[in-house]
Amino acid sequence: MADVMSQTPPVLHGPSEKERKYDRQLRLWAASGQAALESANILLINSGAGTVGVETLKNLVLPGIGRFTIADKSVVADEDLGVNFFVDDSWLGKSRAEACTNFLLELNPEVQGEWYPRHEEQPFNLDGLLSNSPTFTMILYALPLPEDQVQSIQNYAHQHRIPTIAVHSVGYYSYFKSTLPGTFPIVDTHPDETATTDLRLLGPWSELVEFSRGMTENIDGLDNHEHGHLPLVVILLHYLEQWQQTHDGAYPTSYADKTSFRKTVSEAMRTNNPEGGEENFEEAIAAVMKHVVAPSLPNSLQQVFDYIHQDPDEIKSSFWIIAEAVKRFYSEHDRLPVPGGLPDMKAQSSVYIKLQNIYKERARQDVSEVLEIVRSIPGGEDVDSDQVELFCKNARFIKLINSHEEKTVKLDQVVEQQLANDEVAAIAGPEMPLSLIPLYLALLATSNSKTATADEIMAFISSHAPQVAENERYKKTAQEVERAAGGELHNVSALTGGMVAQEMIKIITKQYVPIDNTCIFDGIDSRCQVLRIKPTNGLYGDLSKRAIEQISPSNSVKDEGRRRVSKPCPGVAAFEDDDHKMRVLHTHPSQPRPQYCHSQEQKDTLSTDRRGFAGRHRPNY
C-alpha cells in the first residue's frame, strides 16, 4: 500500500484566481507585464468636460493598474451627466474627482484610487500635490490646462524621468501626445512569430551540419516514408552544400541564384508516390526565399549600437550594458546570438525534437557567452540573466525611440508641405486622405483655454503659418472647434481614451512599440494620423519654436493611361509599422475615385467640397 501511495502523482493545481481573472491580458504581456502594471502609480490631471481622462483610466483600472490619483478641481454639473458615465445626479455639486474615483474603483476592487482636492474648501495646488505624493509612474493630463500647470507637469516629469501623455478631445476631434524620458528602448516588441525565425542556413554551426549530414548521407536510398519526413532545415542544408561544391563555395544569395536553387530542390522531390509529391520538400521550396539569407544587422539594432549617450547615468542601465555586450559579441562573431526558435515543419517527432534541441542548445551557448561579457562590464554583475536571454532572443527586433536624433522641420515648412500633399490627395481620391494637421493646430489654439472663436483660432494658426490664413479647410476646422465650445462627445472620448490607455500600457510594461509621438483622430472621417512633434520650448509654448516631422515614407500616385504624380506624401495614413507600411482607418463608405483635374478651381473644389472636414452633416452637441 505504501508503494502505491508513493507512486501517486502530485495533485495538479489549476490557474489561480488572478490568472483566471486576467487570463486574456496575460497572454498579451505575460506575468512580467502584469507585474509592471500592478506596480504603476498613475496621476490624472483632469479638466474641461473631463470625459476622455476618465475613459482612459477606465481602460487602465480594468486590467489591474496598481494605483491612480485624479486631480480635478471641478464639481459635478448637469452637463457632466450627459457625457461622463462615472457620475450620476446624486453627485451634483460635489467633487467630480471623488465621484469618478468611487465609480472607477467599483470596476476592480484590487486597484487603489485617490482624488484631489480631498475637501471642498481645500485649494487646488498642483505643485503641492506633486511634491507631497509618492513618485508617480506616469502622468496623464487632459487639456485645456493653464500654462503654468503644464509647466509644473513638465518640470516634475523631467526631474523624476517619467513619461507623460497629454490628451485633448473637443467635439469630433481629438489628439494625444506622449513625451518619453529621454531615449526609450523596447526589447519585447512582440514581432510576428514567423518573422522571428532565424534558421542560420547560410551560417550553420558544426552540430547542425553534422546532424544534417547524418540524415542525408544516403538520401537517395531512403524509403519514401523517411524521405518524406526529412525536416526542411535538413533538406536545404544538404542541397546548399551541393550548391557550394559546384559554385566555388558560394551560397545562392542573388534572386536568380535562389530561383535556380529552388528549382534544384524541386527536382529532388519524389513524385512517384501515392501523394504525387512530398509535403516536406514543398515546405523547403517555399522557405528558400525567406530563410536562405545571409546573417545581417538590422537597422534598428545598428541604431542601438551607434547611439551616443546624452546622459552619463543612462549607460549604467541594464539595457545599455547588455547592448554593449551584444555589440562585442557581434564584433567577434559577425553574427547575432541565435534566437533558438524553430518553426513547425513536416518531420518525425523524434527528429524534430533533436533538431529543436540543437537550436536551443546553441541559443543557450550564445546567451552564456553574452552573459559572461555582461559580467565583465562595470555594473554588469547586477544584471539579471533573464534580461540577457530576452535581449538575445529579440535582438533583431529591438526598438529604440530616440527623439534626440530626429531631424526637425520648421512649422511653416511642414504646413507648406502638407498643402502640397493635400493637392495630390485631392486628385488621387479617398485612398490618399488629407493631412490632419489642421485639427492639431486648431486644438492647439485651445490648449490653455476652454473656448475660442474661429477668428481667434485662425489668428493663432496664421500667425505661425501665414500661408494657410485664407485656406478654406483650415477655416472650416476652426469653425468646427468653435462650434464644439470645448464640449466632448462621449463616443469620441471613449475611443480616444482606449487608444491612450493602450499606449500607456505599452510604455508601462515596456512591451510592444508605442506611437512616436502624437496621434490625431478625426471622428468625422473616422481615421487617425501619427506625427512626430518636437517642442523646443515647452509643450505648449510659442508655435514658432516648434518642429514637426512626419513619419510617413514618400508615396506616389499612379493613374494608368495618364501622367504620374509623384510627390512625398507624409502622413497619408494612420500608422506606420516596422516595415514602413502605412495603415489607414476608414469606416465611411468608399467614394468613387475622381478623375484627374488640372485647373486650380477643380482642385479647390475637390479639396474643400468633396473632402472638407465641415462638409458633412453632423448632429449638434
> The pTM is what?
0.80
Q: Quickly count helices (H) and strands (E) in the chain.
A: 22, 15
Q: Is the pLDDT assigned to residue 59 strictly greater than 80?
A: yes
Q: What is the pLDDT of residues 540-572, one digit of tens each?
A: 433 333 333 443 333 333 333 333 333 333 333
Tell me, what amino acid is at 584? Answer: V
Q: Is the peptide bond before 394 cis (omega within 30 degrees of 0)?
A: no
Conformation bin of residue 175: beta by default, left when phi > 0, alpha when psi is -120 to 50: beta
pLDDT value for 618: 38
Contact 401, 516 (CB under 8 A): yes
Across residues 31-44, what is the average pLDDT?
Answer: 94
Q: So what's the pLDDT on residue 592? A: 37
Grid cell 479639396 is found at 607
More confident residue, 387 or 462: 387
DSSP 3-state of 566: strand
pLDDT at residue 30, as a whole number: 87
Reported as a single tens digit per residue, the pLDDT across 213-235 is 999 999 999 999 999 999 999 99
Q: Between 545 and 3, whose confidence is greater?
A: 3
CA dihedral of residues 428, 431, 432, 436 (deg, nearest 10): 140
450, three cell numbers: 476652454
Q: Determine the pLDDT at residue 8.
A: 61
User: In this structure, are residues 399 and 184 in contact, taking their beta carbons and an 8 Å threshold?
Assistant: no
Q: What is the pLDDT of residue 84?
A: 92
CB 288 within 8 A of CB 236: yes
pLDDT digits (tens, 9 = 90+) for 591-604: 433 333 344 444 44
Instruction: State phi, psi for 120 to the nearest 5 degrees.
Output: -60, -35
Residue 300 CB-density burial (10 A; 0-12 exposed, 13-18 middle, 19+ buried):
middle
Q: Residue 127: pLDDT above 60?
A: yes
Res 6 pLDDT > 80: no
d(CA 508, CA 506): 6
Residue 431 has pLDDT above 90, yes or no: no
Q: CB–CB of 193/516 below 8 Å?
A: no
Amino acid letter for position 446: T
Q: What is the mean pLDDT of residues 41-61?
A: 94
How many CB atoms neighbour CB 274 within 10 A? 5
More confident residue, 351 or 550: 351
Residues 234-239: what's their mean pLDDT? 95
Average pLDDT over residues 261-268: 94
Angle CA 149–151–152, to nearest 5: 65
CA–CA separation, 608 and 618 (whole Å):
17
pLDDT class of 450 with cuts at 50, 70, 90: confident
Residue 447 cell numbers, joined:
490648449
Highest mean pLDDT among 354-363, 409-418, 576-585: 354-363
Residue 284: predicted pLDDT = 95
- Kindly state the average pLDDT of the residues 486-506: 95
| Higher pLDDT among residues 467 and 102, named by residue | 102
Question: And the C-alpha cell for 175?
Answer: 489628439
pLDDT level of residue 13 (50, 70, 90 thresholds): low
| CB-count burial class (<10 Å; 0-12, 13-18, 19+) for 375 | middle
What are residue 396's phi and psi, to 5 degrees? -75, -10
Across residues 387-414, what is the average pLDDT? 76
**Which pLDDT score is estimated for 521?**
95
CA gap 563, 312 in Å, rounded: 54
The whole-chain average pLDDT of the chain stands at 82
> For position 555, what pLDDT does the model report?
35
- pLDDT score of 294 more than 90: no
Per-residue pLDDT at 181: 86
pLDDT at 101 over 80: yes
Radius of gyration of the chain (CA): 29
As a whole number of angstroms, the longest Cα–Cα distance in the chain is 97
User: What's residue 194's pLDDT?
Assistant: 74
- Higher pLDDT among residues 603 and 406, named by residue: 406
Res. 16 pLDDT band, cuts 50 70 90: confident
Q: Which pLDDT does position 406 carry in this prediction?
A: 53
- DSSP secondary structure string, 221-239? GS-HHHHTT--HHHHHHHH
Q: Which residue has the higher pLDDT, 274 or 408?
A: 274
Contacts 24+ apart (CB under 8 A), 579-585: 580/553, 582/552, 582/553, 582/555, 584/433, 584/527, 585/526, 585/527, 585/528
Picking from 67, 45, 79, 76, the residue whose alpha carbon sits closest to that of residue 137 is 67
Q: What ranges in 377-436 are assigned the alpha helix state H?
A: 385-393, 411-428
Q: Is the pLDDT of residue 176 over 90?
A: yes
Mean pLDDT is lowest, of 127-131, 200-204, 311-315, 454-458, for 311-315
